[in-house]
Amino acid sequence: MMKKIGSYVGISILFLLILVWGTSKLADHYVLSRWNTEDSAVVIIEEVLGIKSDPAVQDEDWESERVMLRLLYRNGQKEDTVEDLEIVRLKDSRLLLMEGEEYLLLSDVFDDGTVQY
């Protein structure tokens, strides 16, 4: 009797794990396929290539830095492509850029046509 109950519980747990994993994969695919990639994309940081301070900024309260990244695009026209890209962020940013993690990449297009990430 205990073997039957143990077997039933084990199979139920395995089935539940497979169901949860499948549901999360489907939800991930659904969200990425419907994402508006006009000015943003979901990316994975493959490598942080370097960080340098931004000499263009003179205000100490808004010191920024330029970070070179190797990114893998998860959605949009560049899906499954790898690209080296320079982003700008505040120097004292609390957002840690960790290799292998997913991030939302946003872009700003200025009047002169330059794009900043």
Strands 64-73 and 40-53: antiparallel
Exposed/middle/buried for 66, CB within 10 Å: 0-12, 13-18, 19+?
A: middle
Instruction: Tell if the pTM clears 0.85, that is, is over it.
Output: no
**Does the structure show a pLDDT above 70 at 59?**
no
What mean pLDDT, rounded, does the chain reach?
A: 87
Please tell me the distance from the alpha carbon of residue 22 to that of residue 113, in angstroms, as a whole number: 42
pLDDT for 58: 63
Q: Which pLDDT tens digit goes with each residue over 71-106? A: 999 888 888 899 999 998 888 888 899 999 999 998
Compute the average pLDDT of residues 18-33.
90
